[in-house]
Every structure is written in C-alpha cells, then in structure tokens.
A and B are shown apart, each in its own frame.
Chain A
C-alpha cells in the first residue's frame, strides 16, 4: 500500500515537472521568422492572384558559407546563396537556363571576336547607394586576377590581354581591361572566346566597390557590399544569414522583404522543420520521396531542376583493353541498365545520351548517341571486339567514397557481369582519386562534371580537347584532331547557330569513340511550403529569390 502511494506521488511529480517544463517554454515563435512580415502592401491593388510585396522566406543551406567574397567562392553553400547578393555584367535567368544582361545593358563583340564592349546600365547601384561605373569592373576583375587575392577562379580572366603580365607583377594594371568612359567598359581578349559571356555571368566575376573592399579588408567576405537584388543582412555564425531586399536594384526591388537561409546539415531535420512550419523549403531526401510525391498539397510544390551535371565512367584510353577498343566501350554502354538506375534514384535523374545535359547550346535530342539497354547488341559488340567469352581479369572502377554511389555502381557491376566483364568497385579518397585521374594511373573511373559556366564549352573543352590532356580535365586522354578543331572553332565563334552545329559534330564523334561512357544527369528536387510562389530551383545550383513571392 505504501509503495502504491509513492508511485502515485512519483507519477504526479513527473506530470507536474513535465507541465512545468512546458509552461516555462513559450510556444514556438513561428511569428518571428516564417510568418509574413506584414500585409501593408499588395503589389497590384485588387488583384488577388498577382505577386504580393513583403514577407520573408526561410530557406536552407547545409553549412555556414563563411564568406561571400566573389573572389573566394567555390563551395555549394556559397553558390546557392551568392547570386542573390552578387551581380556582374551578366546574370543567369531565374530558372538558371539563360544568360541575361545584368549590369551590362548591351554589348558588342568586334569582328575578330577579341574586343568586347559593354554599355553599362545607367542607374545601376551598389548596396551602399553608389552608382556602378566601368572603373568598378576594372577594379573587380583585377582583384580576381591579383595573386594576393588567391581566387580559385582567376583562370576565367586569364585570357584577357595583359592578364599574365599583371599576375607576374611586371605590369600594375591589366592592359586589356579599359575604361572608355564611366558607362563603357572594353575588354580585349588574347583570342576569341565565345563562352566568355557565360563566364561573365559567374558570381565569381561579380562587381564589388573598391571603397568597401578596402574599408572591410579581410572581413569583406563577411560584410559583402555588391550589386545583386538582395543585400547582406544579419549573419549569425554557424546559424543563419538573412538577405534583405535591395530597394534600388536596377530591375526593381524583390517582392520579398527578406530571405533567411538557415544552416541545417541534417536532411531529416530540414523535413521536420518544414513540417513544423518553420522552414519554407527543403531538399527531398530519398526516404521522404514517396510522401511528398503523393501528398496532394506538396506534390504541386515540388521544384525540379534538371541540372547541368553529367555522371559518366571515364576510360583511360592509354590502357588495354577498354582504352584501346571502342567496340568494348560501346558494349559496356549497351549492357548498362540505366532505366534500373533511374528507378533506383526514384526517377530523379535522366539517362545521359552524351556529355551535354539537355538545355545547353548544341544539345540535340535527334543527334546524340542512342544506346538503349540491349544485351544482345552488347554481346555482339563483345564478339566483334574479340571478347566473345568475356574480358579476362577484373578491372577496378575508382570513385570518390560517397556512400550512395556504391549502391549504384553495384547495379552497373551486375550488368557488366552479364556480358563477361568483371569490375571491382574501389572507393578512393578524393585526393588520391584526383591524382589517379590526373596522372592516368587508373583503368576506369566513375566521375561527374558540373559545368563552371552555362555553356557546352564547360564540358567539351576540359574533357575532350587535347590541350587539357591529363590534369586539365581530359582524364580519358582523348586525342582527335577534328574534335580539337571543332571545339577550338566553337570557342572562337560568336554565332550561336554555328556553334551548335560544331558541337553536334563533336557529339557525333563522341558517340562513336565513347572516351567517357555517359550514365545519368541529376535532377535536383526540393519541396516548398504552399505559401511560396514562383520559386524554381536552377540547374546550376543557384537559387534565385528576386521574383519569388509569398501568399499570406
């Protein structure tokens, strides 16, 4: 009886304690961050459907980006946020598929393709209110080229006349970057380069004001003043960063008052935050795919981006037997059950028919290679290649040690076993993996490429041109004079139609030689809350919020 009394007492205490705990704690302060800030303004009065001014969206990245200095940006977390803050001569369209004029209102390229003249937009301003002039671009580009800046993207500008002399210290300015007047900038290239336009849309080449860079010194990256549609607001280290609408943005202020990016590394936590109504968007982890793709509300709010990203198997062409026998490589491609791979990725990828992802200049559905999964064709090719009974031995496929990859490689492994090719999956740390690719001490390597700039050149030049053999990106060690000539001509041709034709020729040769066995193009899928309107994730992993708005 006595113990009974005590248990009751214990239970009572526990209940008391629990209620005390709950009472101490105010209800989650949803109003502080995710609720719309006010309803004072409606963009077009009376229109219920139109974009609405105001409100805050809570987005995410996986870790603190640490710096938004355009010269230093190289990471994913930085790249997602930065295009909202930074802008240069050109920018990516909101869906990330087009290159649009930004601070450059218009531009002309000289007959020889070497001299580019940019007419700057009058009235475009930095976040500090000062008007942007041609001098600012000269300063910003020289800053990226300056070795002291240690910019990983200085190579984008190294083709400018005088860049080398500036970098080795023999000149104190880049002679090829000329300020004609405050509103006109002229850049002279050592040789014509069509993808230069796409490079100029890169956030790494965004314009920054000299006075702010000098004022902040080493802290500039944490206090960036630039020219994008949002300006940098409160930044809580390791926690979140807020971007505020820039009222004087040349293309009109953003609809949103602010975007807050929270730094949440755990994918499940993001989903829980979304469910709790405290986060407006989250990447959809595989475990949650079924739920979001069938939920009547959320399935309408899935954001799809077919990324400029290609997975493939690089073949070291110097090594027997795969490198020396194109028929064998074709057989490999025929044997791969890519539909099974797509299914195992829950449909969140497309079969790659070449190196170029759809959406880039020169991609032509009709012209690309077409190797549907076909075991008979694969076996016939094996026989033609002289390996009717399979290839003796086991071949290592190296890949970075990323867990989800191994599962996919196991499918390929089983596919290839059916035509008598034995591969071993060799997860390799990133450093040694890259060294193997660069030095050519590998047979087969799983790899991927995301283009640095939205142009087919970003795939073909590094991967296929013989200038880049080895470390430059041509890890297959592919050499073909016609392909070299086509890639070089396409680089130097400004006319897009002609470039597209040249790239299709490269494509045709690629399909025949198959130095890289194309696998898949990733599709990035995220989900947002019903209040978020007009948001699209982009194929370049740059998520633009300028035209995003929220319902109440």
Chain B
C-alpha cells in the first residue's frame, strides 16, 4: 500500500512536467501579449517594448521555458504580473476557499443523492422512483449559470433568505447558493448511480437470505446492501469532487466566490501567465491527489482489493 502510494506520487512528476510544457506552449500560442496588457490599451510601442525587456519576454522561448521549469522545480511560482507579488501567497488564500465550496457542494450532493437513490431503489418502479428519476434527468440538463441565476432570483431577491453572492467565513449562508447550484447536477447523477448499484445488490442471494432470516428492511439496506454497492458510489463522488475542484470558475465568477477559479479566470483575462500557470498546477495536483485518495479508499471499502 505504501509502495503503491509512493509510486503513484512519483508519477506526478512526469505528469506535471508534461502539463507545464503543454501550458507553456498554449499560453505562448494563445494570442494576447502580456506586455501589452500591462501597458494598457493603445500604449506606445516603446512602452510595450520596455516592459517586454524588463519582464524578460524578449528572451528566446526555450530560455523562458527552461527558466520557468527551473523556478517551478524549486517551488517558485513566480510573481503575478498584476500585483507584482509572489503568487504562492495568493494561492494559499484563494485555494482553501475553493475547497470549502467544493466540499459543501459534495457533501450536499452525496447526502441527498445517496438518500434519493436508496428511496428510488427500494421503491423500484413505484412513483417515488419515477419522480426522483425524472428530476434527476431534468436537473442534469440545466445549464449551470442559468440555474445559478434562478436560485439567486428566487432565494435572494424574492424570498430574501440568502445573500445572492459573495463570501462570508466559509461554511455560512454565503456558501448555500453556489454549493446547491454545483450539487444539483451531480446529485441527479449520484441518485441514478446509487439506484443502479443498489438494485444490482438487492437481487443477490445473500439479500434474500438476510430478509428470510427476518432482518428489518432498513437494516438490510444499511448492513448488507450499501457496503456492497459502495464502490460505484465512491467512484462517482470522487470524480465528481474532481469536477468541482477543477470545473467551477464560472460558478465562482457568477457567485463572486473568491476562490482559485475566479482567480485563474481573472489571470486569464489579464494574461497574467504566472498566476494562471500556478493556479492550473495547484488544481492539477489536487485532482491527482483526490484520484489517488479514491483509489486508496477502495481498499478500505472492499478488502478484496489490494494494492502492491
């Protein structure tokens, strides 16, 4: 297990080098010149040229690339073009806020999704099942930003129950709307996966045995069905959490949530390349870590799985 973990962690290195290379290539192919952004619109080319020299953009690309790689190897994320401050400090401030939002969304969707899935599976083909499955299918197909706006209008403008956007202290009223917006699509998916997994297990002989020996329905589900149906559910939650970490810049922008997604989005708009690169690296590493954690979790859930 330890050996496996170490090996997986070592695999990060080539992945990261590849990522940095692709990113560097993309950002240099991507039109938009950071020196021009820093000089402001319609600036004199002399000004642009001076900035380009000061920032080292006039050096050959491969020199810039190796320099960049060497900095990263030493854990140096560099300085933001905009603030001229070290990016690491910014990331330490914004990334935890994204994790907070992702956790809030994931917990919401896991609790509700699994619960709805259980209800649907245990009432298979009943109309509770049909209702839940219809809702699950529906909310998968709403665009997120539309969902966000609707929730804002209903809960913040009409009902005045929740603030429409912004950040308070993490897990408070501010997190509710963005978390629910993010939870809804995965909630539907999770309900469907849970239902399918449960139905499969419910058909097994040992469930009939458990029922036959007189075990109550709830206990059957908790002791025998759920543990055996957990693998696909955990996988779904894991991949979903990865989606939440990496795929929520739009939601952070819409809800003015000061996380890494909004930070990276602004960095992209201003062609603040070091800030953008650092954000992407942090996200990539955390996605890989979550994937690793999910894989390791399998072994705990199902003792038959062993990593060597």
- Seen from chain A, the residues whose Cβ lies within 8 Å of a Cβ on chain B are 3, 6-7, 10, 17, 21-22, 25-29, 63-64, 66-67, 69, 72, 74-75, 147, 150, 152, 154-155, 218-219, 221-222, 236-240, 262-266, 268-269, 272-273, 275-276, 278, 429-432, 434, 438, 447, 449-450, 462, 471-473
Contacts and interface: CB of A to CB of B under 8 A. Distances in A.
A473 B153 contact: no
Interface of B: 31-33, 36, 38-47, 50-51, 54-55, 80, 82-85, 90, 93-94, 112, 119, 123, 126-128, 131, 149, 152-153, 156-157, 160-168, 172-173, 176, 253-256, 258-259, 262-263, 265-266, 269-270
A10 B36 contact: no
A130 B269 CA distance: 39
A180 B259 CA distance: 51
A429 B32 contact: yes
A57 to B, nearest CB: 16
A272 B256 contact: no
Contacts of A3: 123, 126-128
A29 B167 CA distance: 12
Q: Can you list the 5 inter-chain pairs with the closest CB atoms, starting with the nearest?
A: A429-B31, A238-B258, A471-B45, A66-B83, A74-B40
B31 A147 contact: no
Given A6-B126, A66-B83, A239-B167, 12 more contacts: A7-B127, A63-B270, A147-B50, A152-B39, A221-B83, A239-B256, A272-B149, A273-B165, A276-B160, A438-B45, A471-B45, A471-B46
30 contacts: A6-B119, A7-B126, A10-B119, A10-B128, A27-B160, A28-B156, A28-B161, A29-B168, A63-B270, A66-B83, A74-B40, A75-B82, A75-B270, A155-B46, A218-B84, A218-B85, A219-B85, A222-B85, A236-B167, A237-B258, A239-B166, A272-B156, A272-B157, A272-B165, A273-B164, A275-B156, A430-B32, A431-B31, A449-B42, A450-B41
Given A28-B156, A152-B51, A430-B32, A269 B164 contact: yes
A240 B51 CA distance: 29
B33 A431 contact: yes
A472 B258 CA distance: 39
B161 A473 contact: no
A411 B149 CA distance: 31
Nearest to B39: A152
Contact of A269 (B39, B42, B152): B152
Contact of A7 (B45, B128, B176): B128
Contacts of B43: 152
B54 A150 contact: yes
Contact of A28 (B123, B173, B255): B173
B161 A272 contact: no
A238 B94 CA distance: 8
A431 B32 contact: yes
Contact of A268 (B94, B149, B258): B149
B165 A264 contact: yes
Contact of B157 (A21, A262, A275): A275
B128 A266 contact: no
B263 A238 contact: yes
Nearest to B153: A272
Nearest to A32: B168
B61 to A, nearest CB: 15
A345 B65 CA distance: 45
B156 to A, nearest CB: 4
Contact of B38 (A152, A218, A265, A278): A152
Contacts of B90: 237-238
A432 B31 contact: yes
Contacts of B41: 450
Tell which of B94, B165, B262 has the most Cβ of chain A within 10 Å: B165
B164 A278 contact: yes
A262 B36 contact: no
B39 A74 contact: yes
Given A237-B90, A272-B165, A72 B256 contact: no
Contacts of A6: 119, 123, 126, 128
Contacts of B33: 430-431, 434
Contact of B265 (A75, A265, A447): A265
A450 B131 CA distance: 57
Contacts of A22: 161
B176 A25 contact: yes
Contact of B254 (A27, A266, A449): A266
A265 B250 CA distance: 10
A26 B54 contact: no
Contact of B266 (A26, A28, A239, A265): A265
B54 A278 contact: no
A155 B44 contact: yes
Contacts of B84: 67, 69, 72, 218, 221
A359 B269 CA distance: 32
Given A236-B258, A266-B254, A269-B254, A152 B47 contact: yes
Nearest to B55: A150
Contacts of A268: 149, 254
B172 A25 contact: yes
B110 to A, nearest CB: 14
B55 to A, nearest CB: 8
A63 B33 CA distance: 20
Contacts of A238: 90, 93-94, 258-259, 262-263, 266
Contacts of A219: 85
Contacts of B167: 236, 239
Contact of A272 (B44, B45, B54, B152): B152
A492 to B, nearest CB: 21
Given A6-B126, A7-B128, A431 B165 contact: no
Nearest to A158: B46
A523 to B, nearest CB: 19
A237 B259 CA distance: 9
Contacts of A152: 38-40, 43, 47, 51
Contacts of A266: 253-254, 256
A272 B164 CA distance: 7
B83 A222 contact: yes
Given A64-B266, A431-B36, A262 B256 contact: yes
A205 B54 CA distance: 21
A473 B42 contact: yes
A237 B83 CA distance: 11
Contacts of B123: 3, 6
Nearest to B43: A152
B256 A264 contact: yes
Contacts of A432: 31
